[in-house]
Amino acid sequence: MLPYKEAFFICNTAYSTLDHSIENIPLLESVNRILAVDYFCTTDYPPFNNSSMDGIAVRFSAGITEWKLEAEVTAGHFREVEVTDELAVYITTGAKLPTGFDTVIPVEDIVLQNGRAILRNHALVTAGQNIRHLGADMKKGNLLCSKGTKILPRHISAFAAEGITTVSVFRKMKIALLATGDELVEITATPAEGEIRATNMYALQTAISFAGHHVENYGLVRDDMQNIGKHIERLLLVGFDMIITTGGVSMGKYDFVRAAYIGNGVQELFWRSAIKPGKPIFTGLYRGNDRNCMVIGLPGNPVSCQVCFQVFLLPLLTHAPGEAELYYTNAIIDADMQKSDLKTHFLWGSFYSEGKNINVRPFAKQISGNNMQFSQADCLIIFPDEKEELKKGEWVQCIPM
């Protein structure tokens, strides 16, 4: 069994060999896509000195508390005004400062009457206050957004400020899903004795779509070597970038998926990783005539399936090819946890706040078939392979879900 980090590295490398062509798409369609190039600022931000609030602009001079209102400068309507210590201009938020004016006094600190501005008794004025300076936000030539960034709504405003209407992104992956297992029925069916609804396909389909990629669900196939082999052969010929199957990858009498992959020309990259849950995961690469296809055999247990997706596949789908990494945050664990093996355990848990700290509570029952309990978790607690215990009160790494 491969240690988790080695297995992840292999997945990262294999994913980088797929077709990651670059395409240009409209800015408003780019959320959840992965940037394929670096973007740099072409101007300073802000592009001019401007007021951060409504008030009067003055040239600071200690001791002066009254000014003649000479003019008005509003956002979008700039005019130059000759500056003296005794003159002020009424200015609005975002308006460009006339040359020589260096301080803005907020409107609530002054009294306006008879064409003059008078400082209120309680008000204090500091030279340079309430000014947004040229380039204070970002300088021309600074990196605006780097290759590999997953575009979120907060990035759109920055691109729009640059006048960017299209962005260069990596193409979406085209991913096929296939579930195996005699016990599985569609979620619209009423399970007979010994049957369960096929939940993994729905969890994976929504997770892949949410990550910003194309996904097609090919439904269920029975535990039959010939039948599974034919389905996999057909999917390999369609031209998918990735094929994900669930179930049939362990060592049981009816676990045919690994053999079916290899029998159809898939190169095995690894089978089984030293993790819990999810040990039986299979990863391979099919080298087609014009493109590669990465294949992943996930375990059939619902929690094992979803954990493997979280720690192996989701990082690939949300980063630039070959640059995937596992995102985690730190929290204080509120229970002692022990293990007696050298596997990396991913414990499902839930965050909560206590004082200034973020705490995490592991679920009492860490069973790979407990799909309903897993649905209530919001993180995976990383229990490193080299550790035998996690002590209550220590900081641990957690993968938000």
Q: What is the pLDDT of residue 289?
A: 79
Q: Which CATH architecture has domain 50-132?
A: Beta Complex (2.170)
For 65-85, write each residue's pLDDT tens digit: 999 999 999 999 999 999 999
Residue 256 backbone zone (phi > 0: left; psi -120 to 50: alpha; other: beta): alpha
Pairing of strands 282-287, 267-271: antiparallel
Q: What is the pLDDT of residue 357?
A: 93
d(CA 40, CA 10): 32
Fold that domain 23-44+137-170 belongs to in CATH: Molybdopterin biosynthesis moea protein, domain 2 (3.90.105)
The ranges of the chain with pLDDT < 50 are: none
Q: Which CATH architecture has domain 329-400?
A: Beta Barrel (2.40)
Q: What is the pLDDT of residue 119?
A: 97
Q: What is the pLDDT of residue 392?
A: 97
Residue span(s) of the chain under CATH 3.90.105.10 come to 23-44+137-170
d(CA 54, CA 86): 19
Is the domain defined by 4-21+171-317 classed in CATH 3.40.980.10?
yes
Q: What is the pLDDT of residue 192?
A: 96
Residue span(s) of the chain under CATH 2.40.340.10 come to 329-400
Residue span(s) of the chain under CATH 2.170.190.11 come to 50-132
Instruction: Go through the chain and tell me how many residues it has.
Output: 401
Two tokens at 111?
A: 């009294």
Residue span(s) of the chain under CATH 3.40.980.10 come to 4-21+171-317
Q: What is the pLDDT of residue 369?
A: 87
Q: Are 115 and 68 in contact (CB under 8 A)?
A: yes
